[in-house]
C-alpha cells in the first residue's frame, strides 16, 4: 500500500466510524461530543506538535515529533470528516498551490 492509498483508507475508516456507537469508537465518541470537542483535540495536538518540535531540536530525537504530527494529522482528518471532507480536498488545494510562490499564494488570500 502506498502513502496515498493509506491516507485514503484512513479517511474511509474515519468516515465509517463516525456512524459507529460512541461507546465502541473513539472517532464516533468525538463526533457525538460535537465540533467543539473535535476542535479542542486538534488544538491540543497542534500544541503538542510544537512542543515536540522544540524538544526534538534540543534532544536530536525526532520520533516524538513524528508521533505528535501523526496525532495532529489524524485529528485533522476527523475534523475534516465532520464537514464531509477528506484528505483529497486538502491534496487538491495543495496541488493547486504547487506552482505558486508561497509569497504570491499568501498575497492572493487578501
Write out the DSSP string of the chain: --HHHHHHHHHHHHHHHHTS-TTT-HHHHHHHH-HHHHHHHHHHHHHHHHHHHHHHHHH---HHHHHHHHHHHHHHHHHHHHTT--HHHHHHHHHHHTTS-HHHHHHHT-
pLDDT by residue for the chain (110 residues), tens only, comes to 898 899 999 999 999 999 999 999 999 999 999 999 999 999 999 999 999 999 999 999 999 999 999 999 999 999 999 999 999 999 999 998 888 777 776 787 77
User: CA 74, CA 69: separation in Å to the nearest integer?
Assistant: 8
Q: What are the structural domains, with CATH classification, of the chain?
A: 3-108 (1.10.287.1080)
CB contact at 8 A, 3 and 12: no
Amino acid at each position: 500500500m502506498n502513502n496515498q492509498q493509506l491516507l485514503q483508507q484512513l479517511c474511509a475508516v474515519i468516515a465509517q466510524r463516525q456512524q459507529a456507537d460512541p461507546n465502541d469508537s473513539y472517532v464516533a465518541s468525538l463526533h457525538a461530543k460535537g465540533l467543539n470537542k473535535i476542535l479542542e483535540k486538534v488544538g491540543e495536538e497542534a500544541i503538542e506538535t510544537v512542543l515536540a518540535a522544540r524538544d526534538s531540536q534540543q534532544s536530536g530525537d525526532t520520533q516524538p515529533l513524528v508521533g505528535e504530527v501523526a496525532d495532529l494529522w489524524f485529528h485533522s482528518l476527523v475534523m475534516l470528516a465532520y464537514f464531509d471532507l477528506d484528505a483529497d480536498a486538502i491534496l487538491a488545494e495543495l496541488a493547486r498551490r504547487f506552482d505558486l510562490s508561497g509569497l504570491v499564494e499568501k498575497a492572493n488570500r487578501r
